[in-house]
């Protein structure tokens, strides 16, 4: 599909170099969808590529805007990269978007109010209700969004939830899951969780997909097009491998990612159980929820 990103963005070329077919959208048309990515992850280019890889499989024309916070300077991203390719939230406050993706962040053990940019993030959550057709809250952002909107707390896990886990779809008939099997596989990499009972007793949230192992996965705020997703469907094939070897090298307590390597042996290649599902899931989100049509 035609995709427009900031000119010269290295992540776009990286996705193309992987063999992905990406048509470059030279100019917007009346049917171009405006999607914003608020990238809170430390490795900016990796996360950019993750989501470009998914957006590039849609049939829709998309203009992607990379958003940055006004009140936070990333430690792991070059200032020149942020200056060239990112737009500050303050610059888009009066703009409208068809879709917004808010990524996770490696700060899940910190209390929300102790996060330095929490006030601005809350402002963005509120702004999105009036300026965005559909929002995806990913991993930590899902926890943060549910806390901000409904007061739902996160809980520390005894050990990291790490690997690829099967999930059951509770509402296979809704457009988000069009073309998917009732059981799907999803990567998780986190130290905290949401309790199922907190979700199901909150009458304004619908639980759409969950796992007996990794817990709640996709939730939707009723009456809206907003979704809270605890896993990382966007992850590239070797992301968990990189995290595992990084933590091993640092001497951190880390177990082998479950259901990831062939024969559960880190000397073998990862088994790609999730990316076809991820492409379909994001494609459905763009097709059915970012466009102002009846669902």
Q: Where in the sequence numbering do the catalytic residues fall? A: 139, 232, 234
The dihedral over CA atoms of 70, 75, 77, 79, expressed in degrees to the nearest 10, equals 60
Structure tokens at 200: 């199901």
**Cβ atoms 35, 57 nearer than 8 A:** no
Query: What's the Cα-to-Cα distance from 60 to each of 20, 30, 34, 99, rounded to whole Å?
Result: 16, 12, 11, 12
**Cβ atoms 175, 295 nearer than 8 A:** yes
Helix (H) / strand (E) element for 122: namely: helix 118-131
Helix (H) / strand (E) element for 77: namely: none
| Tokens 């020149």, located at residue | 80
Interacting residues of 69 by C-beta distance below 8 A, sequence separation 6+: 38, 40, 88, 89, 117, 120, 121
């Amino acid at each position: 599909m035609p995709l427009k990103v900031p000119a010269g963005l290295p992540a776009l070329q990286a996705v193309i170099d992987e063999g992905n077919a990406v048509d470059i959208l030279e100019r917007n048309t009346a049917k171009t969808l405006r999607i914003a990515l608020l990238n809170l992850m430390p490795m900016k280019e990796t996360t950019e590529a993750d989501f470009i890889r998914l957006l590039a499989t849609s049939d829709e024309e998309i203009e992607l805007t990379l958003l940055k916070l006004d009140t936070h300077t990333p430690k792991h991203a070059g200032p020149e990269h942020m200056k060239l390719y990112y737009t500050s939230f303050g610059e888009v406050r009066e703009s409208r978007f068809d879709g917004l993706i808010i990524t996770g962040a490696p700060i899940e053990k910190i209390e929300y109010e102790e996060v330095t940019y929490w006030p601005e993030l809350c402002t963005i959550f509120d702004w999105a209700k009036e300026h965005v057709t559909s929002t995806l809250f990913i991993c930590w952002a899902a926890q943060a969004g549910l806390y901000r909107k409904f007061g739902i707390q996160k809980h520390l896990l005894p050990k990291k939830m790490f690997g690829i886990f099967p999930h059951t779809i509770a509402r296979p008939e809704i457009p988000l899951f069009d073309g998917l099997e009732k059981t799907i596989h999803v990567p998780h990499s986190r130290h905290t969780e949401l309790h199922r009972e907190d979700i199901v007793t909150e009458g304004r949230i619908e639980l759409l997909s969950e796992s007996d192992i990794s817990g709640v996965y996709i939730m939707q705020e009723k009456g809206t097009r907003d979704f809270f997703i605890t896993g990382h469907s966007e992850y590239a094939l070797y992301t968990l491998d990189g995290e595992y070897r990084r933590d091993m090298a640092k001497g951190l307590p880390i177990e082998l990612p479950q259901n990831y390597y062939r024969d559960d042996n880190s000397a073998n290649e990862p088994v790609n159980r999730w990316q076809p599902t991820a492409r379909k899931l994001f494609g459905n989100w763009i097709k059915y929820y970012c466009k102002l049509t009846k669902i």
